[in-house]
């Protein structure tokens, strides 16, 4: 290929653009997580993350051979790469307000059939996650929601940090399965049972320990005493190397969402102080006409 001035060329993707106020938004989000954890002392079994991810029916190659100096490279595909189904890794399909309400009532609350234990659910800022009807429904189910600031899911969402990738890499059926086509040449729709098996089998193969580590790397399930702060944003702990553009130094207490230690301060005093801070902030922003609850996504008193 060198003699012909050719090389393997790869399809590129656009990485998430991190916000300029990255540290401030991280600190605010992780402070809220710590505040709620101290207030309610959730069992780790009731700290969760819900996310949706598209899984394609077809995976055309993302490489081709072209000239070394070519700035724009065409990659031949089957035309079916946009055919996909959406998996919510806890556990349904494409999200809108009605589907989200169904998910809460029929999936989320089925974890405990008798009671609704006090829980914390981490969500991204997708609009269907944070409308008033959804917040009320979560409140009825004793669930506090923490919405990840826009642009920070690559750092603060456990499923984005590693679990979704692990799930997708186990979908070997996409590359190996024989695709059935209709007489018109379109990709034949598989049965619901087949699709359900495609989701179940790779999900069951995801390492449970990887899920635990992902929560720690995002600063969500770490110990209150700060002894696990070295996990936060340290993606080497996941055994898969750093994510591009991310540092792995041990972050400061501010970045981890830990308030400055105060002599003799108890957990109850900390919660009371944070309550006052969130209420004061909400009142100030209300007066300025700038506070929009849907954008923050935190509970009503924030």
| Domain-embedded: residue 158 | yes
Are 73 and 9 in contact by the 8 Å Cβ rule? The answer is yes
Say yes or no to pLDDT of 287 above 70: no
Looking at per-residue pLDDT, the higher value among 283 and 241 belongs to 283
| Domain-embedded: residue 15 | no
What is the extent of the structural domain holding 222? 26-64+77-296
pLDDT at position 20, please? 81
Strand boundaries in 29-170, DSSP class E: 47-49, 52-56, 63-67, 84-88, 119-123, 143-147
Are 262 and 34 in contact by the 8 Å Cβ rule? The answer is no
Are 169 and 40 in contact by the 8 Å Cβ rule? The answer is no
| Domain-embedded: residue 289 | yes
Are 133 and 101 in contact by the 8 Å Cβ rule? The answer is yes
Beta pairing partners, 64: 9
> In the 8-state DSSP scheme, what is residue 119?
E
pLDDT at position 140, please? 93
pLDDT at position 281, please? 57
Q: Which of 148, 115, 128 is nearest to 296 (CA)?
A: 148
pLDDT at position 175, please? 45
Q: Which of 120, 97, 110, 107 is nearest to 42 (CA)?
A: 120
Are 111 and 260 in contact by the 8 Å Cβ rule? The answer is no
Q: What tokens does 193 get?
A: 């049972």
The pLDDT mean for the chain works out to 71
Taking the whole predicted model, whether its pTM rises above 0.85 is answered as: no
Q: How many domains does the chain have?
A: 1
Q: Which of 186-190, 271-275, 297-301 has the lowest mean pLDDT?
A: 297-301
CB-hemisphere CA count at 13 Å for 126?
A: 16
pLDDT at position 216, please? 95
pLDDT at position 205, please? 81
Looking at per-residue pLDDT, the higher value among 132 and 294 belongs to 132
Say yes or no to pLDDT of 72 above 50: yes
CB-hemisphere CA count at 13 Å for 194?
A: 10
Rg (C-alpha) for the chain, rounded Å, is 22
Q: How confident is the model at residue 14 (pLDDT cuts 50, 70, 90)?
A: very low
| Domain-embedded: residue 21 | no
| Domain-embedded: residue 1 | no
| Domain-embedded: residue 45 | yes
| CATH code (residue 221) | 3.30.420.10
| Domain-embedded: residue 6 | no
Query: What proportions of the chain, in percent to the nearest 5, are helix, strand and coil?
Result: 40, 10, 45
Q: Which of 166, 126, 121, 161 is nearest to 144 (CA)?
A: 121
pLDDT at position 239, please? 75
Q: Which of 130-144, 202-216, 270-284 shows the highest mean pLDDT?
A: 130-144
pLDDT at position 198, please? 73
| Domain-embedded: residue 302 | no
Say yes or no to pLDDT of 114 above 60: yes
Question: pLDDT (tens digit, 9 = 90+) per residue, 231-281?
Answer: 999 988 887 544 434 443 445 555 555 544 444 556 666 667 766 666 655
Residue 30 phi, psi dihedral angles, 5° rounding:
-70, -30
């Amino acid at each position: 290929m060198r003699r012909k001035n050719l090389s393997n060329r790869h399809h590129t993707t656009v990485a998430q653009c991190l916000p300029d106020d990255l540290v401030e938004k991280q600190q605010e989000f992780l402070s809220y997580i710590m505040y709620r954890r101290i207030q309610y002392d959730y069992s780790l079994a009731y700290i969760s993350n819900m996310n949706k991810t598209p899984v394609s029916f077809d995976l055309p190659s993302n490489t081709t051979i072209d000239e070394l100096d070519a700035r724009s490279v065409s990659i031949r595909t089957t035309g079916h790469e946009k055919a996909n189904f959406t998996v919510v890794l806890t556990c349904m399909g494409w999200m809108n307000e009605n589907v989200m309400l169904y998910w809460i009532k029929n999936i989320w609350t089925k974890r405990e059939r008798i009671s609704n234990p006090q829980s914390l659910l981490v969500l991204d800022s997708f609009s269907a996650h944070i409308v008033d009807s959804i917040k009320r429904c979560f409140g009825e189910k004793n669930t506090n929601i923490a919405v990840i600031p826009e642009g920070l899911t690559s750092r603060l969402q456990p499923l984005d940090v590693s679990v979704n990738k692990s799930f997708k890499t186990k979908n070997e059926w996409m590359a190996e399965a024989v695709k059935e086509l209709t007489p018109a040449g379109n990709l034949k729709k598989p049965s619901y049972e087949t699709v359900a098996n495609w989701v179940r089998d790779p999900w069951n193969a995801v390492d449970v320990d990887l899920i635990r580590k992902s929560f720690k790397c995002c600063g969500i399930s770490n110990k209150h005493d700060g002894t696990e702060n070295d996990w936060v944003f340290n993606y080497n702990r996941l055994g898969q190397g750093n994510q591009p553009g991310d540092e792995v130094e041990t972050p400061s207490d501010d970045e981890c969402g830990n308030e400055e230690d105060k002599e003799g301060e108890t957990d109850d005093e900390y919660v009371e102080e944070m309550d006052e801070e969130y209420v004061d902030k909400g009142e100030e922003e209300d007066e300025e006409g700038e506070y929009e609850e849907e954008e923050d996504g935190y509970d009503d008193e924030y």
